Structure 1
Amino acid sequence: MENVDLTKEEKIKKEIRRLTSLFTKLDAKTKKAVKSLIENAAFMAVTLQDLQDTINEKGVTEKYQNGANQHGIKKSSEVEIYNAMIKNYSSIIKQLTDLLPKADLGPPPKGNGLMEFIKSK
């Protein structure tokens, strides 16, 4: 990752700047409303990357022991946190992209070829 030498706070600020730059065309009221969404998205993006690095290093499972006779392997704590956070991050990013003017999103994707054929008949 290119941001290896940056602190977590610096990475978050960099991500806030990157995300904020995508919303320059929004009116001032909307920009103010999305500020906390952008800040949360930036925090999650950086934290998710940290979790990915840890998961890549340690793996997706960990050993556990509950008492003398109860032990085994379970999904790692990092994986559980990652799974919950990625859902929240995806939700925030969807909310943010829904606010972008449609012209900024590029041309609409082509429809299903079969449906296009049916509609043309």
Structure 2
Amino acid sequence: MAKKRELTKDERILKEDKRLRKIYKDIDKDKQALIDGLISRAAYMRITLEDYENDIMQNGYFEMFTQSEKTDPYERERPVARLYNTMNKNYQSIIKQLSDLLPKDTEVVEDDGFDKFLAAR
């Protein structure tokens, strides 16, 4: 069985961008211009977050660090972990904005006859 080729970061971003655009294809034209930038940013952020996650899984959240050879090393948060946390928060915010633009599902409540029962009394 042939091994599947790894997609480049740009290809993965484009794939995510298309996936998101498919979800938001039915948004009215007035809002479409608003969401174009959000979708592009969300796609980039999601793929970058996946890359950060892989790095963190391989190398951990913390590393040993020292300012000089004269001081003992100490454990500190790796810069990629800090970047991940910040970008994840921003990504969640963009996804929330996009989700708020989706049409609200109208909930269909099945009539159980209770209102008719009360009216009859």
Structure 1 residue 70: Cα displacement: 5.1
Matching residue's letter, 1:28: K
What residue number does 2:88 align with?
86
- 3-state SS of 2:13 partner: helix
Written as runs of structure 1 = structure 2, the 5 A alignment for 1:57-68 is 57-67=58-68, 68=70
Question: How many angstroms does 1:29 deviate by?
Answer: 2.2
Aligned alpha-carbon RMSD (Å): 1.9
Query: Is 1:41 the equivalent of 2:26?
Result: no
Residue segments in structure 1 that go unaligned for 5+ positions in a row: 109-121
1:4: how far off? 6.7
Which runs of structure 1 show a deviation greater than 6 angstroms over 4 or more consecutive aligned residues?
A: none
Identity %, equivalent residues:
37
Q: Does 1:96 align with 2:101?
A: no
Q: Which residue of 1 aligns with 2:51?
A: 50
Name stretches of at least 5 consecutive residues in structure 2 with no aligned partner: 109-121
Give me the TM-score of the superposition, normalised by structure 2.
0.79
Q: SS of 1:66's equivalent?
A: coil
Aligned partner of 1:53: which letter? N
Counterpart position of 1:27: 28
Q: Quick one: distance in 1 between partners of 2:83 and 2:22?
A: 28
